[in-house]
Amino acid sequence: MTGAIWNLLLGLAWVLLSGDFSGLNLLVGMVFGYITLILIEPQLDALKGYPARVPRFIGFIAFFLKELIQANLRVAFDIITPPWHMKPGVIAMPLSARTEMEITMVANMISLTPGTLSLDVSDDRKVLYIHAMFLDNEEELRRNLKEMEHRALELFR
């Protein structure tokens, strides 16, 4: 993520320096920034793996959007058709993610996807408490969540 910020920063710096505040220019700046980051990756630990992540990131977005739409449709269906079929509940999901950044990403993904909402992380950061709307099939839910976590973590590792 640091890499992304740096990339954006560089892009903006480009925009500023060139004095051309158009979006096209920003995109150009971003591209140049990306190239720069590839070049300086070896020097900075924080940037490790960033260049490689960008393609994976785009793939992830596609996956994520699919999930998002799916989830919404299901929720929509349940909202509009009483009586409610949902079986909400709070479950604890053991986390593979370790760093704060990873945990946050995973938690946010989960919040945005299938009928799940991250409530909190335990103090020892081992467990993420999730409010789920459809606990009909808890095992499948946990599996899906794990897959989501796995895909997200791929981006960072």
Partner 1 sequence: MVKSGTIILNTAARLLMPLQLLFSVFLLLRGHDEPGGGFIAGLVAAGAFTLYLFAFGVSATKEVLRMVDPRDLIGVGLLLGMISVLPAWFMGQPFLTAQWWTIPIIDFKASTPLIFDVGVYFAVLGSVTGMVMSLMEVDKDEP
Partner 2 sequence: MIDFIKGTLIISGALFMLLASVGLLRLPDLLTRMHATTKAATLGVILVMLAAAMHFAEVGIVARSFAIIVFILMTAPVAAHVMGRAGYFVGSKLWSGTVKDELRPNYDPLTHELKSGLETQQNAKRQPRETDPD
Give the interface with partner 2 as residue ranges (CB under 8 A): 21-27, 68-69, 71-72, 75-76, 79-80, 82, 84, 86-92, 94, 107-109, 111-113, 115, 117-127, 129, 131, 133, 135, 138
Non-local (6+) Cβ contacts of 149 within 8 A are: 95, 96, 97, 106, 109, 110
Pick the piece of the chain touching partner 1 (CB under 8 A) from 33-41, 51-59, 64-72, 95-103: 95-103
As given in the structure block, the two tokens for residue 15 are: 């925009």
Q: How far is the CB of 31 from partner 1 (least distance, A)?
A: 18
Q: Does the protein bind partner 1 through residue 5 (CB under 8 A)?
A: yes
Cα separation, 146 vs 137, in Å, equals 14
Q: Does the protein bind partner 1 through residue 57 (CB under 8 A)?
A: no
Phi and psi at residue 118, to the nearest 5°: -70, 130
> How do 116-121 and 89-94 pair as beta strands?
unpaired
**Crossing angle for the helix pair 23-40 and 50-80, to the nearest 10 degrees:** 130
Q: Does the protein bind partner 1 through residue 104 (CB under 8 A)?
A: yes
Binder of partner 1 out of 69, 76, 101, 154 (CB under 8 A): 101
Give 44 or 77: the residue with its C-beta nearer to partner 2.
77
From the list partner 2, partner 1, none, pick the one residue 5 interacts with, judged by a Cβ distance below 5 to 8 Å according to partner type. Answer: partner 1
Cα separation, 142 vs 14, in Å, equals 44
